[in-house]
Amino acid sequence: MKQYDQKTVQPIILVFGLILFTLLSSCRSDSPDEEWVSLFNGKDLTGWNVKISGHEPGDNYKNTFRVENGMLVVSYDEYENLDNKFGHIFYEKPFSHYAIRLEYRFVGKQVAGGLGWAFRNNGIMFHSQSPESMRLEQAFPVSIEAQLLGGNGTDQRSTGNVCTPGTNIVMDGELITQHCTSSSSETYHGDQWVTMEVIVHGSGPVYHVVNGDTVLTYKNPQYDEEDKDAQKLIPESGEKLISEGYIALQAESHRTEFRKIEIKVLEEERNGIQ
């Protein structure tokens, strides 16, 4: 048998060690990207439920929500006037601890009858009540909203704000009861794609991340006991903190296109999700 001295063996061991490390690294199953799961199949609205003000759940009035070119689209080409038909499309199951991210952009003109504040305005609703539990004429579900806004080409207008229909939040140790609170994000004008991520830890902290930058942080989402719709959702125990709910996207009068709608279930919930 041929004998190898130490100087010969060490480089061989090093090379094989590097090869083994590379192979093991390429086979890891806990890569961050592999944990993201798509909520939208790019073909149809399977897994999503529509609720539009004045209409029963499941009635996609005037084909407001649709799929075009692999995108989930909010469209008003069949409308003559908005007529306060605010709408939402809900994913079919609730979540508690997770991160949701998507890309969005606003395109074209606002539909006639759209209100000034609704110009280039949409949102990710989370910890939301179900569409079946909403009143027929209810415009917005009781939820927390990560607001998506586009600029008008001139003025500053942050995106990734938080709004609270029927809810309150805690920020810097203070209960926030005003409807909307602005983030520190940049303004995004025109038809550019923007990436929005919301990281939700049950009834604990929430983070809004726009194009990779954390622009807003708060915690303790809770029902507003003075709101009539929220009052119906507060359990008999009187617990106001909201630890889970549905995810929904809005239709508020401006064409919006969504793509890459993905969710990552966080460790606190992963064991209970199939």
Both structure tokens of 71:
């995108």
Bridge partner residues of 188 (DSSP): none
Q: Which amino acid is at 171?
A: M
**Other CB atoms within 10 A of residue 187 CB:** 15
pLDDT at 108 over 50: yes
The model's pLDDT over 59-104, given as tens digits with 9 standing for 90+, comes to 999 999 999 999 999 999 999 999 999 999 999 999 999 999 999 9
Q: Which fold has domain 32-270?
A: Jelly Rolls (2.60.120)
Look at residues 184, 142, 188 and name the one whose alpha carbon lies nearest to residue 163. 142
pLDDT at position 168: 98
Cα separation of 232 and 189, whole Å? Answer: 39
CB neighbours of 185 closer than 8 A, spacing ≥ 6?
158, 159, 160, 210, 213, 215, 216
Mean pLDDT, residues 102-114: 97
Question: Residue ranges per domain, the chain?
Answer: 32-270
pLDDT band at residue 270 under the 50/70/90 scheme: low
Read off the pTM. Answer: 0.86
Indicate the range of 20-34, 129-143, 163-177, 180-194 predicted with least confidence.
20-34
pLDDT at position 170: 98
Is residue 102 within 8 A of residue 196, CB to CB? The reply is: yes
Query: What distances in angstroms separate CA 211 from CA 103, 135, 149, 188, 195, one per listed residue?
Result: 9, 35, 14, 11, 5
Q: What are phi and psi of 184, to 5 degrees?
A: -100, 20
